[in-house]
A and B are shown apart, each in its own frame.
Chain A
Amino acid sequence: MSVAGPEAEARQRRWLTLPAVAVITLFGVLPLVIVVVYSLLRSAPYGGVEWTFSTDAYVSFLYQKDIFDDTLQFHADYLLIYGRSLAFSVVTTFVCLILGFPTAYFIATRPVATRQIWLLLVTIPFWSNLLIRTLAIMLLIRDDGLVNNGLMWLGVIDTPFVMIFTDFAIVLGLFYSFLPFMVLPLFSSLEKLDFRLVEAGFDLYANRFQVLTRIILPIARPGIVAGCLLVFIPCIGAYVTPLILGGGKHLMIGSLIAEQFGSARNWPMGAAQALILMAGVLVALWFYGRNARRGVAHAR
C-alpha cells in the first residue's frame, strides 16, 4: 500500500470539504452579499434598485430628509418599531422560560419510557402549519370565540373580554408558536442533570428554593441560554403571528421589512433593516457565546 504524503492528504481533505463549502457559499454567503449590496443602492421608483451607491437606506433608519431644504431630521418611528418588537420578544421569551422550565423539569423527572410521550406531546403543534395554528388561536380568542363564549356561558363575564388584536394576543401567539424551542433545550440540559446533586443539596441543608436557585438553575444554564436564544431570535423577526393576531395595528420588524419589499417598494430600505436586525441578533449571539462557554465549563 502506498502511503500518501502529508501534502497529498491535505489536498484530499480540501476536496472533501468542497460540498460543504459550496452549500454555505451558495445559500449562506451569496444571499447575504446580495442583501448587503442592495442595502447600499438607491431604490427605483417602481421597486427594484438603481445601480448607484447610496447610504440613504441606513440614514433614513434614523433620519428623515426635510422636503424643502434636504436637512436631516431625527425621527424615531423605526426605532419604536424595533423597540416594540424587542419588548414583545423579551416578554415572550420570559413567559416561555417561566412556563417552559417547570414543563421541562416535569418531563425530565418522568421515567424514561414516559418521557418520550411527553416530548412528543410538546412537539405536536409543529406537525401543522404555523398559519393554521395562528388562525386557530384567532378562532379561540375572538370576541365570539370559544373562550369568550365559554366564559359567558359559565356566567363569569357578561360582555366579551377583548383579546384579539391586542398585545396580549400577539404574546400569546408567539408564546404558543415558540414554546417547544424553549422546552426542548431545557429538557436536554435537565435530563443530563444528576439528581444526586439535588439530594446532595438537600443533605447540605438547602431548602427547595435554594436547591433550585443554587444548584439546578446554574447547572441548567446552557439549556436556559440556548432556549432563550431559540425563542428570542425567531420572535424578533416574527411576521405571521403579529400580523394575524395583532390585526396589523402595530407594525413589528417582520411586517416592516415585508412592507419595504412590498407596498413601499423600497428594496434597499428592506435590505438595510434586515441587516440591522441581523446585527442585533449577532450581538445577542455574542453574549450567548460568552455565557455558554462559562456554562459549559460549569457543566463539565
Chain B
Amino acid sequence: MLDNTKVPGLAIDRVGKVFQQAGKPDFRALDDVSLTIRPNEFFTLLGPSGCGKTTLLRMIAGFEHPSEGEIRLDGDPITGLPPNRRPVNTVFQNYALFPHLSVAANIGFGLEMLKKPRAEIEATVAQMLRLVRMEEMADRKTSQISGGQQQRVALARALAPRPRVLLLDEPLSALDLKLRKEMQIELKRMQAETGITFVFVTHDQEEALTMSDRIAVMSAGRVLQVGAPRDIYDRPANHFVANFIGDSNFLTGTVVEMSAGLVSIRLVNGAVLEASVPSSVTFGATATVVVRPEHAVLAAPGEGVIAGEVETVIYFGTDTHFHIRTGEGATFIVRQQNRRGDAAVAQRGEAVSIHLPPGVATVLAGEA
C-alpha cells in the first residue's frame, strides 16, 4: 500500500468541525475537508462569507481543534500541538499588532519567544524591515502608521520566525483598491523570496485568481473544487463554482453524442453544441453547460446557435457587456473587448445571435 502519510507539505485529512453552542443545535462548520498543500505553494481558500475558511485556518494554526480528522505537516501530525509549538504563523485579518510595542519589537516578538540570540533577532528584524520596506518606521508605535503599513508589519512579524507555513486571513480586505493591488504584488514577491508555503484566505475571486498557484473553492463547510486558477475558471466543477468565480451563462440540453473528452448537447432550441466534459456523462441524460461571457461572440441573426435580442448594453471601458434576451426568455451575457474607434457592435433592441466557438462550453459535473 502507498504510504501517503510522509507526503511533504501540509495535509488536511478528512477534517470536520462541529461547534457546540449552549442552548442551540450543534453547528457543522466544516465537513470532510481533505487538502494537500505542497511546500512552497501559494494556496488560496476561496468561498463566500461563513463557509468555514477562518475555521479551517484556525485549526491549522492550532486555535481550534478538529472534531474529526487529522492535520499533518510534512507527515507529522500536528493536531495535538498548541499554537505556540507549531511552526506555523498567522497574519490576522485585523493584523492584531501589539499596541504597546514598537514596529521593530512587534517583528522581533516571535524570535524573542523562541529565545534566539540578540544579534540574530536584530539581524532578522532588520532584514524583515527591508523586505516589507519599513526601515524608517522601526521605532514607531503601531498606532502611528497607516493601514497598509500595519499590514506589512503584520506580515513581517509572521515571517520573521521563518515558519514552514504562513496563514493569511483576508489580510487585504481592509485596504483600498489601489493599495490592495500593490500589496497583492508585494505578497507574491515575498512568497517567492522567502519560499514559505502561503495559505491565503479571501472571498474575492479576482484576488484568488491573480495570486494563487492553486485554489480551493469552499461552500458551506465543504471543498467543492481544488485546482489551478485556470482550471477552475475554464472547467468549473459545478454550478456553484461557475457562479462564484467570474460571470457565467448556463444552458441546459440533452447529451446526444459522446467521444473522448467531448460531447454534443442538443439545446432546448434544437441547436447542437459541442462541449468539453471533465467527468463522465451518460448518453441521453440532461446536462448543464457553462459558457463564460467573454468566450461567446455576437453574430448576425441566423449565424450563431442561439437567437436573441439585445436588452442592455453596458460600457466598461476595457469591454462592453451585452445582455441578450434569448428566444427561451433567459438572459445570456456576452462580453466583447473594446478596440479603439469601434462603435458598439450592437444596439439596444437589435436582433442578434450568439456564436459559441468550439471548446468554449463545459459540461458541469453532477448536474442532471
Contacts and interface: CB of A to CB of B under 8 A. Distances in A.
Contact of A218 (B62, B82, B92, B100): B100
Contact of A204 (B63, B82, B94, B161): B161
Contacts of B141: 297-298, 300
A219 interface: yes
Interface string B135-152: 000000101000000000
B96 A194 contact: yes
Nearest to A195: B96
Interface string A243-274: 00000000000000000000000000000000
Interface string B89-122: 1101010111110000000011001100000000
From B92, B100, B113, name the one whose CB has the most chain A CB atoms within 10 angstroms: B100
A298 B100 contact: yes
A281 interface: no
B84 interface: yes
Interface in A187-245: 194, 196-197, 199-207, 210, 214-215, 218-219, 221
Given A197-B96, A199-B83, A199-B96, A205 B90 contact: no
Contacts of A202: 62-63, 82-84
A300 B83 contact: no
A79 interface: no
B113 A203 contact: no
A299 interface: yes
B216 interface: no
Contacts, number: 69
B92 A204 contact: no
A206 B106 CA distance: 13
Contacts of A197: 96, 98-99
Contacts of A199: 63, 83, 90, 92, 96
Contact of A205 (B84, B97, B98): B84
A197 B106 CA distance: 11
Which of B89, B94, B98, B157 has the most chain A CB atoms inside 10 A of its CB?
B98
Contact of B157 (A204, A210, A214, A298): A204
B96 A205 contact: no
A124 B98 CA distance: 36
A214 B92 CA distance: 19
B92 A200 contact: yes
Interface residues of B, number: 26
Contacts of A299: 99-100
A205 B99 contact: no
Nearest to A294: B100
Contacts of A196: 92, 94, 96
A196 to B, nearest CB: 4
A247 to B, nearest CB: 45
B94 A203 contact: no
Contacts of B94: 194, 196
B306 interface: no
Given A202-B84, A205-B161, A300 B143 contact: yes
Nearest to B63: A199
Contacts of A203: 61, 83-84, 88-90, 158
A204 B110 contact: yes
B82 A205 contact: no
B161 A298 contact: no
A298 B111 CA distance: 22
A298 B97 CA distance: 12
B73 to A, nearest CB: 15
A210 B96 CA distance: 17
Nearest to A217: B100
B84 A219 contact: no
B96 A206 contact: no
Contacts of B88: 203
B171 to A, nearest CB: 13
Interface string B63-94: 10000000000000000001111001110101
Contact of B100 (A194, A205, A219): A219
Contacts of A297: 141
**Most B-side CB within 10 Å, residue of A203, A206, A214, A221:** A203
Contact of A200 (B85, B96, B114, B143): B96
Interface in B154-211: 157-158, 161
A210 B112 CA distance: 11
Nearest to B82: A202
Contacts of A300: 99, 141, 143
Given A196-B94, A199-B63, A300-B143, A204 B113 contact: yes
Contacts of B161: 204-205
B92 A205 contact: no
A204 B109 contact: yes
22 contacts: A196-B96, A197-B96, A197-B99, A199-B83, A200-B98, A201-B109, A202-B62, A202-B83, A202-B84, A203-B61, A203-B84, A203-B88, A204-B84, A204-B109, A204-B158, A205-B84, A205-B85, A206-B84, A206-B109, A207-B113, A298-B99, A300-B141
Interface of B: 61-63, 82-85, 88-90, 92, 94, 96-100, 109-110, 113-114, 141, 143, 157-158, 161
Interface of A: 194, 196-197, 199-207, 210, 214-215, 218-219, 221, 297-300
Report, nearest first, the 8 A-B pairs whose CB atoms are least far apart: A204-B110, A298-B100, A205-B113, A200-B96, A202-B83, A196-B96, A218-B100, A300-B143
Given A202-B63, A202-B83, A298-B141, 8 more contacts: A200-B97, A202-B82, A203-B88, A203-B158, A204-B157, A204-B161, A205-B114, A215-B100
